[in-house]
A = this chain, B = another copy of it.
Amino acid sequence: MVSKAVAKYVHALHLKKYRLRHGAFLVEGGKSVRELLSSALLTERLFLTAEFAAKIQPELPSSVPVEVVSEEELTRLGTLTTNNTALAIARLPEEKVLAPAPNQLLLALDQVRDPGNVGTLIRLADWYGLGGVICSDTCADPWAPKTVSATMGSFTRVPVWQRELPTWLSSLPASLPVYGADLHGDNVHRLTLQPTGVLVMGSESHGLTPEVEACLTQRLHIPGRGQAESLNVAVSAAILLDNFYRNVQ
Contact = CB atoms under 8 A, between A and B. Distances in A.
Contacts of A236: 238
Contact of A239 (B123, B226, B238): B238
B123 A232 contact: yes
| From A130, A152, A235, A248, residue with most partner B Cβ within 10 Å | A235
Contact of A235 (B227, B235, B245, B249): B235
* Interface size range on A against B: 35 or more
A224 interface: yes
Interface of A: 116, 120, 123-130, 152-154, 157, 189, 222-232, 234-236, 238-239, 242-243, 245-246, 248-249
A201 to B, nearest CB: 13
12 contacts: A120-B235, A123-B228, A123-B232, A124-B235, A129-B224, A129-B225, A130-B226, A152-B228, A152-B230, A157-B227, A222-B242, A234-B235
A85 to B, nearest CB: 14
A230 B228 CA distance: 26
